[in-house]
Structure 1
Amino acid sequence: MATEIGRPRNRGIDEAVLRATVELLGQVPYAELSVDAIAARAATSKPAIYRRWPSKAALVHEAVFPLDATTELVFTGTLLGDIAAMVRRTVVVFSTPAARAALPGLVGEMAANPALHTALLQRFSGILERGLGDYLAAAVQRGEVRAGVTAADLAESIAGITFLALLSRGVPDEAWIDRTATLITKGISA
């Protein structure tokens, strides 16, 4: 068992920085968000932030897309209902003021920096492999989903179509969620 060297990490600083990031993204676009402003709002220092997060993008990604808000699968009893629940949850997460302010900048940074893209998506790898991967494997066994559909395929489909809808039409309504869930379900069905 490894032992921690130095002072233990102060979780209060982590929480204050994440909260300050979300609050500021509700007020300014991603491009105008600075680590200086986050540090001031969180009553901490830039070095304290950079000890915890390697970049503004990594901090924003964690603040805007907390693992606990994006990971819980809802089981409705039908594949279409489950996919609709996943789409609905994605709409909720992506349509927060902080996410709407952050997404275009994060997408731009991830496109320009493949290493950043990999690092940010790595946060969700365990969730994709365990939760969604297990869900799809069971759906394949039941004959609901065709073999070969991966958790990454499904997550990218849901996130991509939702992101594009937010950019082109604003926050999608329930009718859009139903149509999108049907489209995705038909695409992955056995």
Structure 2
Amino acid sequence: MTTTVQTGAAGRPRDPRIDRAVLRATEELVVEVGYADLTVAAIAERAGTTKAAIYRRWPGKAYLVHEAAFPDDAPGPVAGDGPLADDVRGMVVACRDIFSRPVARAALPGLLAEVVGDPVLNGAVLARFQAGTWGAMHERLTRAVASGEARPGVDPDVLIETVGGATLLALLNRPDGVLDDAWVEALAGLLLDGLLPA
């Protein structure tokens, strides 16, 4: 499901080749120069297009960087009907893999600052996450609570926020950016202690 923010009047169909080139250029440049020094002009030059073409597709740099850092096809948890413990581990692994990508690590500091100060951007970012990884996680946890597989009263949103927050803090604490399988098991174990029925 695409969640690109589109602007401008209806006209001829968008050229997906331009979209791909712009997103690829954005991903490369944010890793090379960082979020603060990234410009739409540099992205346009690298992608072989114009600033006007980019602004027809994305309202601003933050929207574009967010889509490049967290694409619709990023790895996500496979929320199924297997054991809840396996799905929780899958959630932790997916979050680790998404936030550990070099583009995400380079983009997050600047994106977080902009998201806090821009309610429209905040809504767009949340919509992208909820349409993908967070939405799948939420559905699985909601089913688990309803079926008695998880404790009554468990809030899926709080659990998701715990996974995301723990992952971000762990990456900040580890300059090498390595969150290994032992870390996944430790976090998943803590979550499952509070999630599974006694």
TM-score, L = length of structure 2: 0.84
Q: Secondary structure of 2:32's match?
A: coil
Partner residue of 1:85?
90
Alignment match, 1:133: 138
Residue type of the alignment partner of 2:19: D
The CA deviation at 1:72 is 4.4
Q: 2-side partners of 1:98 and 1:163: how far apart?
A: 14
Specify the alignment match of 1:157 in structure 2. Answer: 162
* 1:41 to 2:46 alignment: yes
1:76: Cα distance to partner? 8.4
The equivalent residue for 1:183 is 190
State, as a whole percentage, how many aligned pairs show the same letter: 49
TM-score computed with the length of structure 1 as normaliser: 0.88
CA offsets per residue over residues 94-117 of structure 1, 9 Å max, x none?
Answer: 111111100111111112223321
CA distance in 2, matches of 1:125, 1:150: 16
Q: Counterpart of 2:111 in 1: which secondary structure?
A: helix
Name the structure 1 match of 2:5: none
Shift of 1:130: 5.4
| Inter-partner Cα distance in structure 2 for 1:136 and 1:15 | 34
Q: AA paired with 2:164? A: A
2:26 match: 21
CA pair 92-130 structure 1, distance change in 2 beyond 3 A: closer
| Stretches of structure 2 lacking an aligned partner (at least 5 in a row) | 1-8
Matched residues in 2 for 1:173 and 1:129: separation?
Answer: 22
Task: Identify which range, 152-161 or 15-24, moves more after superposition.
Answer: 152-161
